Structure 1
């Protein structure tokens, strides 16, 4: 099982102009998920967890029907990844540099190849965690 982690800091744009810092993380021992945290003020980050598979799909086509959705677009000669996040507390549409997200995803694939997640996932540890009450 891979316990390594990958982290990337990316700048998103909110409403097309306001910069928002984001931290993207991927852990080899949680191979199915990506965590993206967006800074809402100096001390507060909002964290979203979604499947790596959703991010893979979202780099090439619109993907997601729930709280996290991705859409790649080209605007003014730039490739952009639109990230829509929604919760009962609010909604945000963020723009990220497509290549930066693709580079982050590529680093995750070097750690855990797509389709090889089950070789890095400790199902017994998950069962133990879920049944520990």
Structure 2
């Protein structure tokens, strides 16, 4: 059985001074994809005017709340005493948001209770994933 955890959090969109906007974002963890987390930004917060989601590793999020982590499209690091900065790098530019670290830790605890770290492989449906790959190749 798949467990899905969603948590709404406030993210402060960092923009050129003096403007910073708070936007509601949704963190999502699906035990059917146990290594990944998703963050979804609502249409008003995006240039395209449509919801935008980023997918990255749960391990990256856990590391980033403690120390700078990531070298690719997603980079996460502590910011001040109670916030975590998430940077999203795309060809169109870089977006940065700050989220309360306590909110991220609460989300990670909930994900950990659904699928403990180190046991992700027990939640992978390899036969189903292989069927999906082969069906697309045929």
Question: What TM-score results when the alignment is normalised by the length of structure 2?
Answer: 0.88
Unaligned runs of 5+ in 2: none
Q: Secondary structure at the match of 1:63?
A: coil
Residue matched to 2:60: 54
Q: 2:71 corresponds to which residue?
A: 65
Q: For residue 73 of structure 1, report the CA deviation from its aligned partner.
A: 2.3
Alpha-carbon deviation of 1:4?
1.2
Which structure has the highest strand share of the two?
1
**Deviation above 4 Å: which 4+ runs of structure 1?**
none
Q: TM-score, normalised by structure 1?
A: 0.91
- Bigger helix share: 2
Q: How does 1:48-127 map to 2 (within 5 A)?
A: 48-74=54-80, 78-127=81-130
Count how many residue pairs are aligned between Structure 1 and Structure 2: 129
C-alpha distance in 1, partners of 2:106/2:135? Answer: 38
The RMSD of aligned alpha carbons is 1.5
Stretches of structure 1 lacking an aligned partner (at least 5 in a row): none
Structure 2 vs 1, CA of residues 50 and 105 (structure 1 numbering), >3 Å: closer, same or farther? same
